[in-house]
Homo-oligomer: A and B are copies of this chain.
């Protein structure tokens, strides 16, 4: 599991496919129920595995209203979907989004450890705090906790989950038929956590999983999110790399914070999401991009935008006039994304139409020939703006297939990505260390 000397570009893919935007399902080549059909999840996972990707990822969110855009209305639940994908793949990492705000840490720890056992060490957890009022109303509450409090809860929640994952030492289960010795109970540890938000006794009723602990992802962009990620996460989903200067500042900030917490810069990997469109020629790629873009209606794009502001009513503004000053709407919702949109609207004097289309559909950054796309991926990677990429398939799963068929071989020829998996586990393939059990005394390791 030793990391290879050369820094390697990481690749990952969204398995549940929105496509390039919320109406991409209308394209003839799109699977129209790609959010709720396990067959398309498995197809995407198998393509990603053929491309030797590090992991497949399932985003999540549970609150819907009549203003929700198509993709959100019906989708498979991530951990169940990934358990099914696990049975149909063998090396691809499997990252499930699960909330820290409306669930029991014991159950989350157990389901993720179970996925790690089922998949032979390929589970990852994207811990999210939930960003819409309606999330709380689906779970017995009235109001969402404010942003800062959600992150304090998340921090303790993740500590509890990690502690539960260490309930058993790695070699506790003997299962010796001859002697009848099943498990060494001295290697079972009771957590007895009593914190500010959670009280959890333990131990977890599942042996330590192949990765020791499933890989932890976070999508920290706000101050609280960055701190949480730097302290606890193995990898971070960042936003776009549209603005490479800003993206590099983010990259350096996260690495710096990790180091400040006593970790090494390589202990945390940074993955922005991208939506590549590959064509035989640049014109061909632009044509494909345009063909999909034309399927997006402006009213749906506005609805998509409004979700980041807790379904704020943007329809009160004219489509083709610059947006007025909107204060800090969205501050307790998708805080950083909302702030980002308000800032670019202000700085670039965007109209509502321009902002909505920008939010709802991918730009031209990774549209081009396979060589052009590879060049851009390489440049950002080598400039240490990113450690890797997580791919949206502009048409699910066609975009992913085109990328794997056409771009991956170029990246392989350049020695940027693997030709074969180095390890059996996601942690091994990502070059992350095996986490020492927090309950073990040092002589065990």
Contacts and interface: CB of A to CB of B under 8 A. Distances in A.
Nearest to A38: B118
Interface stretch (A203-211, A309-317, A344-352): A203-211
A6 interface: no
A198 B139 CA distance: 8
Given A33-B175, A118-B81, A297-B180, A206 B76 contact: yes
A140 interface: yes
Q: Report which residue of A38, A88, A113 has the largest number of chain B beta carbons within 10 angstroms of its beta carbon.
A: A38
Interface in A110-124: 110-111, 113-115, 117-118
The quantity of this chain's copies bound in the complex is 2
A205 B74 contact: yes
A173 B33 contact: yes
Interface in A1-30: 23, 25-28, 30
A117 B62 contact: no
B139 A74 contact: no
A182 B74 CA distance: 11
Candidate in A28, A76, A84, A88 with the most chain B CB atoms within 10 angstroms = A84
A16 to B, nearest CB: 11
Interface stretch (A101-109, A147-155, A233-241, A355-363): A101-109
A224 interface: no
Interface string A242-276: 00000000000000000000000000000000000
Contacts of A322: none
A201 B134 contact: yes
Contacts of A38: 87, 117-118
Contact of A25 (B137, B139, B175): B175
Contacts of A61: 205
Contacts of A115: 80
A183 B134 contact: no
Given A74-B183, A88-B87, A36 B117 contact: yes
A73 B72 CA distance: 38
A173 B74 contact: yes
Contacts of A202: 138
A140 B195 CA distance: 10
A104 B103 contact: yes
A163 B70 CA distance: 22
A426 interface: no
A75 B113 CA distance: 10
A445 interface: no
Given A84-B83, A104-B102, A140-B199, A77 B173 contact: no
A47 interface: no
Given A80-B79, A205-B63, A103 B107 contact: yes
B79 A110 contact: no
A64 interface: yes
A62 B175 CA distance: 20
Contact of A139 (B30, B81, B114, B200): B200
Contacts of A113: 77
A93 interface: no
B110 A177 contact: no
Interface string A180-206: 101101001000000000111111011
A368 interface: no
A168 interface: yes
Return the 9 tightest CB-CB contacts between A and B, nearest first: A83-B83, A87-B87, A77-B114, A70-B182, A137-B201, A74-B207, A32-B175, A80-B83, A84-B87
